[in-house]
Amino acid sequence: MSTNHAVLAHHFENLEQQRETETFGMWLFLATEVLIFGAVFTCYAVYRLRYPHDFEAASARLNILIGSINTIVLLSSSLTMALSVHAARVGRQQMLLTCLLLTIFLGGTFLGFKALEYYEDYREKLVPVLSFDPGEWTKVEGAEGPVNPQRVQLMLVFYYVMTGLHAVHMIVGMGLLVWLVAEARRGRLTPVRYMPVDIVGLYWHFVDIVWIFLLPLLYLTGTHHTSDLHF
């Protein structure tokens, strides 16, 4: 009971109530997150419906190879995250630490690829303001005649806002994971106090799911060819 006492916050009656509250709080937070992404998805949808061909043309230029690799990386990280939660619940400290570190590694890999992709985009003149070249797009043929560079740029803006927001969430998640590793090494994540892992896990899976929506919306909208598969 003494361990329970240290874990239980002063304002809760018992551990069960505390766990229930913490999980519920995280779900509520995720509801907020759904709405913040929902708002930008809605704007994207509005313009995508209005300018379908320009959006397709822009999408076709995005790096689908990195996008695909990142999808695999991120989904794997969800697996290792789920394993961490399991390890914390059953009290397997070594497995917990390993899985958390693996998740961090995979998250870092994702962000690394993302950074590489942004750099490639910059070199391919796909970054509005910094390197975007409207002249290049006047010659591009869409499904119904030449595309409008401004609308292509609009699509690219959404690409950066959406993936940027997602990347910010990834960075926050990485920070939380590093904190969990520190806690785990101090032996403070026990079967009695596994909630932090559980809650960070919920968050991590959510960020994953957002990516699952981003991939088709941004990358798979346009037609890609096998020759596009390069870094």
CB of 118 to other proteins, least distance (A): 15
Decide whether 47 or 105 has the Cβ nearer to other proteins: 47
Decide whether 113 or 132 has the Cβ nearer to other proteins: 132
Tokens 């002249």 sit on residue: 135
Decide whether 54 or 107 has the Cβ nearer to other proteins: 54
Rounded to whole angstroms, how far apart are CA atoms 123 and 136? 13
Phi-psi region of 133 (alpha: psi -120 to 50; beta: other; left: phi over 0): beta
Tokens 């806690």 sit on residue: 183
Please state, in angstroms and as integers, the Cα–Cα distance from residue 2 to each residue in 7, 11, 42, 89, 190, following that order. 9, 17, 51, 19, 14
Decide whether 2 or 32 has the Cβ nearer to other proteins: 32
CB of 39 to other proteins, least distance (A): 4
Residues that bind other proteins (CB under 8 A): 9-13, 17, 20-21, 24-25, 28-29, 31-33, 35-36, 38-40, 42-43, 46-47, 50-51, 128-129, 143-148, 150-151, 153-154, 157, 161, 165
Tokens 């910010």 sit on residue: 168
Q: Where are the beta strands (DSSP E) in the chain?
A: 141-142, 145-146
Beta-bridge partners for 112: none
CB of 25 to other proteins, least distance (A): 5
CB of 160 to other proteins, least distance (A): 8
CB of 213 to other proteins, least distance (A): 15
